[in-house]
Structure 1
Amino acid sequence: MAKKSKWWKRKFFTIMIIPHDASTAKTRRVHLSIILLVIFAIVGIISTSLTLYRIASTKFSRVKHLEVLEEVTEKQKAQIKEIDILREKLKELEETEKKLKSILGIKGSLPPPKDKKVVSLGIDYAPDIDTYDFQRKIIEVKTLIDEKQRELARVENEIQRRKSLLVVIPSRWPTFGFISSGFGWRFHPIFRKVRFHTGIDIVTFWGAPVYATADGIVTYVGWESGYGKVIKINHGRGITTYYAHLSSYAVSVGQYVKKGQFIGRVGSTGTSIGPHLHYEVRRGGNPVNPSAYLSVDIIKIGKLY
């Protein structure tokens, strides 16, 4: 009996195809080399496909990474530009604050308001540490700008407060001339003895115009012993001004007058030895030195009130 050869030494294989419709089966004889070629081809196609897939995936990942880097870089450039703009704005605010405080004579910071705003970060997360650092710097500068704007707002409010006070504070000269007799104890030129002078005497020519030294309401117009013809104006906050020894009036009781408004003319009525204006400032009914108010400006008023 002949010995059978091993299967891998056989040159041909028979492939049988059996249809489902029970028709005649078909056989095909295939050479071993073709089968091996097909197997190698399939394996090669699969290997090549996997290699191409890996290369494509790697390139795609690199492209996405580059796109992300470009996006982050553009964002960082925008953040750097924003930081530069914010720092320039902060510098301008600091210079403005310094100038205003210098003009007003304010040292340090004004009392802050009770409400306090919080500057938002503006993002829920940061994609990388650099972006986070830039964003943090932006927030820091924005916070400083916000505080400077608040401080400037407080300075502006202080300016408005002082301006409002200057309107009702007797801080201008009531007439033109020079002070011949100041406030306080003096030797009276008529009574020839030392008496307390409750105001200042401003020497000028007869008929010189007299002006209200602050906004207020005229409370008295008429004759009063010693003062002669006198006008009294209530400026609020317990402050009243007297204009005495007048020759004529230009206002009436109950009239509201503005600072610098013409109210009468200089004379020599009452206890007087020549044309001059006796001018008084009273706080709470008590006479105070008018000279302290004549030079009051927006800086000095901050120390008085």
Structure 2
Amino acid sequence: MKPIQKIFFIIITSVILISCSNNKYYKVKEGDTLYSISQKRGVPISELKDINKLKNNSLYSGQKIYLKYSKNYKGSYHMVRSGDTLYGISKKYDVKIDSLKKINNLKTNILYKGDKIYLGKMVNKGDLNYKSTSLTTYKNNSKDSILKNFGQPLKKMVVTSPYGYRNHPVLGRRILHTGVDLKACINTPVYSPYSGVITYAGWMDGYGKMIIINNGKNYETRFAHLNRILVKKGQRVKKGKAIAKSGKTGRVTGPHLHYEIRYRKQSMNPMKL
């Protein structure tokens, strides 16, 4: 190798090494703050403090502030329980759904009981032992139960996604969830919570196989993502009648029952009736 080539090789190698090291850490200069470093390098202050185990915001000149977790760093993890969703875990630990999917190499939003979901940061042990905010269980016939006017489309009532605005697990944007999602495996029997007349029994975009029942006095109930429909339009059904088998048709990530109560065509929160 000629002398001039050696010089170029050394310069290029040095630039690459500096660039790589700069991506791993930042050397603190006089006047730097965690806020200014966060803005320059696009790393949240909370993450900088966590990576570098900083107890406060104090810095000193020449200090190395690491910008990324080491390859062996995984932080705390959440053990998936029945009813857990990525949305619920995201809200609980303040970690974006996209980040959770990237860290855990998830291609879908489907979770399985017993899975370890790494959070990409350290979390106090006390905060890991919680009853999932995405899981609400109701006991039938309890005096204090919200089920008084909720109705009972399933024998076992476990809410996996409540009524209200949420990040849609398929569409990926924040929209109103007009009903509640109830935990149900494929072909779990679905019952009519109230008497009424079937006004719709078929496929509806997004909802998949769906049933709508006119319950009178401007109220109607809706049941979506069904696997099998056991009734026909125009049929009158009594309270407790088996009307369908649950499934995963339509825009979903897994099997469950979507249940709605509407008054004058406007969706209502079944859990606050």
When normalised by structure 1's length, the TM-score is: 0.40
Query: More helix by proportion, 1 or 2?
Result: 1
Choose 1 or 2 for highest CA Rg: 1
When normalised by structure 2's length, the TM-score is: 0.44
